[in-house]
Structure 1
Amino acid sequence: MSSLRDHLQACGQDELLAQLRRLAPVSYEEFVSTLYEDLDQLIGLVEADAKDFQDASEDELNRELVRLLNARFYAASHDHDEGGHVDVRVRSRDGRFSWLAEAKLDNGPAYLSKGVDQLTERYVRGTPGHHCGGFLVYVQKARCAERFATWRQHLAANASSFEDLTVEDCKSRQGLAFYSEFVLPRLGTGVPKYRIRHIAVTAFREANAP
C-alpha cells in the first residue's frame, strides 16, 4: 500500500491519494486529519447555500452533512445507536476507527453544553482509535464568530466540569473552530485524552441578500 501511495504522490495525484486515505487510512491520525480536511470543504458547501438552511432543523442539517460525507465515500450515518442516537458517525471502512459528533442549533451556551454532555457521557468510547469527536454548532443568526466565541468562553469558564481540560485554537478554521481535550471519567488516565473539534457552521443569510 505504501508503494502505491509513493507512486501517487510522485505523480502529483493528490485527489487519488486523498481518496486512498479515506478508504484505507494507515493510522487514526490520518483518518481524522483527512476527515477534517474534507469536513471543512463540505461545511463550506453548506455555508454557500445558507439561504436554504437558515430555517432548517438540526436533523435536516445533520442529514445534509452525512449525505455529503457519503458522497466522498466515507461510511457516515445519522442517528446511529451508540448508547443513544448520535447525530453523526463516521467509521473507517474496516471498522478500526470511528469519529462521533453531536450537533446543536446555537441557542446559547447553556443549551450547547447539553450537546457536549450527550457526546461525552453517552456516546463516545474514547478508547484508542475512537478518541476524537466533533461538536457542530449551527448558527442561524448574524455575527456567527462572536456567538461562537461566547461558547468557547463558556466552556473555558467551566473547566472544573472536566478533568484536565485544555482549549486551543484551530488554525485551519480560525475563529470558527477550536479544540478541547480532557480525561474521560469512564477511562481515566493512561490513554489519550478525548479530543473534540468544536465547529461553527454559518447558516445565516441577510433577508435582502442575493
Structure 2
Amino acid sequence: MGDSLTTLFNWFPVLRKLFQAKTEKEFDDFLDRHFEECVQRMEAEAHHLKIDDEEKLSAFLAAALSMPGLSVVREGYSNGRVDLTIKSESMQFPERRLAEAKIYAGPAYHAQAIEQLVTRYSTGRQSRGYVVEYVKKPGISGIVVKLRAKADLDLPVHQKGTTCDHQMKWAYISDHRHASEELIRVVHINVNLHR
C-alpha cells in the first residue's frame, strides 16, 4: 500500500497536467513535454539501449510514456500495425495520437516513416502525429540539420511549407496534407543513443 501511495504521489503533478488539458492544444503541449522527459530518460540509459533493435527501443519508450490516464499501446491497429498508439483515458476529453518509430538510416528512410504515419496509419481525424528516430550514430545535431534541409528541399509526403523549430532539442515540426484534405502536424523527435 505504501509503495502505491508513493507512486501515486510522485505522479500527481504530471497527472494534474494531463487531466487539466481541456483542448487539443493543451493535450499536445502536455504530450510534447512528457515525450521530452521520456526521451531524456532513454538517452540517460543509452549505454544499455544502443545494441537494441527498434522493437525493444519502442517497448522501452512505450513503458516510459505509459502512466495512469495515458495508455500507450505498441503495434496497435490503425490501417496497419502502428508502432505506438497514445490515448488519453480522460472521460471528458479523450485524445489519440499515433507515432511511427525507426532506427535512423538516412533521410530516405525517415521520409518512409513520415509516409507510413501520414498516408497509411492516420485517418485524418487526429491533427498531430509523431515520428521518433533512434539515432545510434555520432553527430545527432548535424543529422537533424540534414533531415530538415532535405525535407525543406523535397517537401516529402505532401509537406506544406518548410519545417519549423520545436522547443525540444533535436526535434522539429512539419505539416503534411492528408488524403482527407486535413493538415497533419508531424513532430519529429530524434533520440540520441550514441555513446
> TM-score scaled by structure 1?
0.81
2:4 match: none
* Superposed counterparts of 1:54-65, under 5 Å: 54-65=50-61
Alpha-carbon contact 2:176-2:185 (below 8 Å) kept: yes
Q: What displacement does 1:123 show?
A: 0.6
Q: What residue in structure 1 maps to residue 6 of structure 2?
A: none
Q: What runs of 5+ residues in structure 2 fail to find an aligned partner?
A: 1-10
Q: Any residues of structure 2 matched to 1:2-81 within 5 Å, and which? A: 16=12, 18-23=14-19, 25-71=21-67, 73-81=69-77
* Aligned residue number for residue 113 of structure 1: 111
Aligned-partner residue type, residue 108 of structure 2: A
Quick one: structure 1 residues 200 and 72, their matched pair in 2 at CA, closer, same or farther if it must change by over 3 Å?
farther
CA distance in 2, matches of 1:147, 1:110: 13
Report what 1:5 is aligned to: none
Whether contact under 8 Å (2:144, 2:190) holds in the other structure is yes
CA distance in 2, matches of 1:36, 1:91: 14
Q: Does 1:177 align with 2:141?
A: no
- Does structure 2 retain, via aligned residues, the 8 Å contact 1:76–1:88? yes
Q: Distance in 1 between matches of 2:58 and 2:159?
A: 29
Q: Kindly report structure 1 stretches of 4+ aligned residues shifted beyond 6 Å.
A: none
SS of 1:96's equivalent in the other structure is coil
Shift of 1:163: 5.1
Determine if the alignment matches structure 1 residue 135 to structure 2 residue 131: yes
TM-score by length of 2: 0.87
The percent identity for this pair of structures is: 23
Q: Judge conservation of contact 1:166–1:182 (CA < 8 Å) in 2.
A: no
Please report how far the alpha carbon of residue 156 of structure 1 lies from its aligned counterpart in structure 2 after TM superposition.
1.1
What CA distance in whole angstroms lies between the structure 2 residues aligned with 1:197 and 1:51? 26
